[in-house]
Amino acid sequence: MSADTTTHTEEHGMSNAGYVRIALILAAITALEVSTYYVDFGRLFLPALMIMMVVKFIMVVSYFMHLKFDNKMFTWIFYAGLILAIGVYCVALATFHFFS
Residues 5-51: tens digit of each pLDDT: 656 555 666 788 989 999 999 999 999 999 998 998 888 888 899 99
Domain ranges within the chain, ordered by starting residue: 16-95
d(CA 46, CA 19): 29
Residues 42-86: pLDDT tens digits? 888 888 999 999 999 999 988 888 888 888 888 889 899 999 999
What distance in Å separates the CA atoms of residue 85 and residue 80, rounded to the nearest whole number? 9
**Torsion (CA) 21, 27, 31, 34 in degrees, nearest 10:** 150
